[in-house]
């Protein structure tokens, strides 16, 4: 038995392992981090968490952090805001947005998982960290590796959005572009992890990485006044985030920090890469891998590592999963921006569009408390909006020119004014 308050445990056979950079059991099933909840119960309280600075480290007892770890960045604790204008458009009076478009340091929820993964990379003595990424993970690994003094190797599909590639290079990471999909990149990274003594955040450090996602759930509960919502809508790539928000809520109930409640989990995907939502809509518990073809690049994982567990979490909760087309993704990005002033990337468009669909299907009811997880920032995927707005011809800096411009505009756009 380990002296730590947490250890690794196989999700299928239950075999436990001392903490180590390892993600699969001898039975080939995934490992996850498990805690000594009895001792935690005596050591944590709402007041303790609330007394600390507003970042993910306020929940440190519920995260796998090696002894002596000191955080270098205030990651997380992003705003949870009510969204009445969006709610009016899509038919919900209890709509909230968890806004990880402004998560620090790199503007996506991936900063949370990387912060916890690098804490463990340090604990295990790695000097180099690495990842396979659909974009946001690359940014987060590169930035935090720079901050914490690791060397970083980042592997991405060659055709990712330019902003995500540039936003990785700038931090000095080695960026390897692979001809192929994320699934090809990920397979290669598993092989590299066997050959090199590197801490791959989402391969050999994956059980620790994944725990970082729980902080989204803790924050939602605390920001709702230590209550759980009725529904959560979560975008899915590998399917890890949605299962970890569920784990967070289950832990808060177990520790007596919130009243027990059955929260329904709703998964969101793009139709061009929807292996998880397709399985759920077919009442299947197994994933059929797909070849991704969608502008929602951050969600484009055709063979999701946690797909099976995401299906289980969603269906057991009484939730559902849906997917929307690429044009709907773009419309939904604009809808969120124009109603709530939040500029999200394609993954957030997927979440908003799917939420609208689920409300139309009466799977989410108007008076329920519903939280949409907006997981990334729109400045990273501006390409998808490029043909949506034409810049008007510039005018001279003269009042008369502006008045003429305004008059022309008003005759142009009677419908928009009405
Ligand atoms: C990675 C990612 C997700 C999905 O995360 P998983 O845990 O792999 O399901 C959602 N949104 C954004 C913006 C992401 O980068
Ligand atoms: Zn096992």
Q: What secondary structure does DSSP assign to 305-368, as a single string? A: TTHHHHHHHHHHTT-EEEEE-HHHHHHHHHHHHHHH---B-HHHHHHHHHHHHHHHTTSS-TTS
Residue 211, Ramachandran bin (φ over 0: left; ψ between -120 and 50: alpha; else beta): alpha
pLDDT digits (tens, 9 = 90+) for 13-64: 999 999 999 999 999 999 999 999 999 999 999 999 999 999 999 999 999 9
d(CA 290, CA 410): 48
**What number does the ligand 1 atom closest to the CA of 213 have?**
7
Q: Residue with structure tokens 């800096």? A: 397
**What number does the ligand 1 atom closest to the CA of 376 have?**
13
Residue among 298, 313, 380, 381 to mutate when testing ligand 1 (max atoms within 8 A of CB):
298
Ligand nearest to the CA of 30: 2
Three-state secondary structure of the chain = CCCCCEEEEECCCCCEECCCCCCECCCCCEEEEEECHHHHHHHCCHHHHHCCCCCHHHHHHHCCCCCCCCCCCCCCCCCEEECHHHHHHHCCCCEEEEEHHHCCCCCECHHHHHHHHHHHHHHCCCCEEEEECCCHHHHHHHHHHHHHCCEEEEEEECCCCHHHHHHHHCCCCEEEEECCCHHHHHHHHHHHHHHCCCEECCCCCHHHHHHCCHHHHHHHHHHCCCCCCCEEEEECCCCHHHHHHHHHHHHHHHCCCCCCCCCEEEEEEECCECHHHHHHHCCCCCCCCCCCCCCCHHHCCCCCCCHHHHHHHHHHCCCEEEEECHHHHHHHHHHHHHHHCCCECHHHHHHHHHHHHHHHCCCCCCCCCEEEEECEEHHHCHHHHCCCCCCCCCCCCCHHHHHHHHHHHHHHCHHHHC
**What number does the ligand 1 atom closest to the CA of 244 have?**
7
Residue 355 Cβ inside 6 Å of ligand 1? The answer reads: no
Residue among 183, 299, 306 to mutate when testing ligand 1 (max atoms within 8 A of CB):
299
d(CA 213, CA 316): 20
d(CA 214, CA 241): 8
For position 390, what pLDDT does the model report?
A: 86
Ligand nearest to the CA of 380: 1
Centre of ligand 2 from the C-alpha of residue 318, in Å: 28
Nearest to 304 by CA among 141, 183, 201, 137: 183
For position 316, what pLDDT does the model report?
A: 97
What is the chain's mean pLDDT, rounded?
96
pLDDT digits (tens, 9 = 90+) for 128-187: 999 999 999 999 999 999 999 999 999 999 999 999 999 999 999 999 999 999 999 999
Ligand nearest to the CA of 213: 1
Domains of the chain (ranges, CATH numbers): 6-73+110-209 (3.40.50.1100), 80-107+213-385 (3.40.50.1100)
Residue 202 Cβ inside 6 Å of ligand 1? The answer reads: no
Residue 103 Cβ inside 6 Å of ligand 1? The answer reads: no
**What number does the ligand 1 atom closest to the CA of 137 have?**
15
d(CA 62, CA 285): 29
Ligand nearest to the CA of 25: 2
For position 242, what pLDDT does the model report?
A: 98
pTM of the model: 0.95
d(CA 399, CA 394): 13
Residue 181 Cβ inside 6 Å of ligand 1? The answer reads: no
For position 418, what pLDDT does the model report?
A: 37
Residue among 136, 344, 378, 380 to mutate when testing ligand 1 (max atoms within 8 A of CB):
136
Residue 376 Cβ inside 6 Å of ligand 1? The answer reads: yes
Centre of ligand 1 from the C-alpha of residue 1, in Å: 34
pLDDT digits (tens, 9 = 90+) for 352-410: 999 999 999 999 999 999 999 999 999 999 999 999 988 888 999 999 999 999 999 88
Centre of ligand 1 from the C-alpha of residue 348, in Å: 10
Residue 172, Ramachandran bin (φ over 0: left; ψ between -120 and 50: alpha; else beta): left
**What number does the ligand 1 atom closest to the CA of 238 have?**
8
**Maximal C-alpha separation, the chain:** 80
Residue 275 Cβ inside 6 Å of ligand 1? The answer reads: no
How much is the average pLDDT of 83-101? 98
For position 414, what pLDDT does the model report?
A: 52
């Amino acid at each position: 038995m380990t002296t730590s308050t947490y250890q690794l445990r196989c999700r299928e056979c239950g075999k436990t392992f001392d903490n180590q950079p390892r993600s699969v059991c001898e039975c080939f099933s995934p490992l996850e981090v498990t805690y000594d909840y009895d001792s935690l119960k005596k050591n944590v309280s709402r007041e303790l968490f609330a007394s600390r600075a507003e970042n993910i480290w306020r929940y440190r007892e519920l995260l796998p952090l090696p002894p002596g770890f000191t955080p270098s960045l205030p990651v997380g604790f992003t705003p949870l805001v009510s969204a009445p204008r969006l709610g009016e458009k899509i038919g919900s009076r209890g709509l909230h947005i968890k806004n990880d478009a402004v998560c620090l340091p790199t503007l996506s929820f991936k900063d949370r998982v990387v912060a916890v993964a690098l804490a463990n990379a340090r604990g295990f003595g790695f000097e180099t960290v690495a990842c396979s990424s659909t974009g946001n993970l690359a940014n987060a690994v590169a930035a935090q590796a720079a901050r914490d003094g690791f060397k970083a190797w980042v592997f991405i599909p060659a055709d990712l959005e330019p902003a995500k590639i540039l936003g990785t290079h700038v931090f000095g990471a080695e960026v390897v572009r692979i001809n192929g999909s994320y699934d090809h990149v990920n397979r290669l990274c598993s092989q590299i992890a066997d050959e090199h003594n590197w801490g791959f955040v989402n391969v050999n450090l994956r059980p620790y990485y994944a725990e970082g996602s729980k902080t989204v759930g803790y924050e939602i509960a605390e920001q709702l006044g230590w209550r759980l919502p009725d529904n959560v809508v979560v975008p899915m790539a590998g399917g890890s985030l949605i299962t970890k928000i569920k784990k967070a809520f289950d832990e808060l109930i177990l520790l007596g920090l919130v009243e027990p409640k059955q929260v329904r989990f709703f998964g969101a995907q793009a139709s061009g890469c929807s292996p998880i939502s397709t399985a759920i809509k077919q009442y299947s518990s197994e994933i059929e891998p797909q070849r991704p073809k969608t502008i929602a690049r951050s969600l484009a994982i055709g063979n999701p590592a946690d797909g099976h567990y995401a299906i289980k979490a969603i269906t057991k909760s009484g939730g559902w999963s849906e997917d929307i087309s690429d044009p709907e993704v773009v419309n939904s990005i604009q809808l969120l921006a124009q109603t709530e002033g939040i500029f999200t990337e394609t993954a957030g468009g997927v979440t908003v569009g799917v939420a609208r669909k689920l409300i139309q299907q009466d799977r989410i009811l108007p008076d329920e408390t519903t939280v949409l997880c907006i997981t990334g920032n729109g400045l990273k995927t501006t390409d998808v909006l490029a043909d949506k707005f034409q810049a008007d011809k510039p005018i001279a800096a003269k009042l008369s020119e502006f008045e003429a411009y305004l008059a022309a505009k008003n005759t142009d756009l009677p419908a928009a004014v009405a």
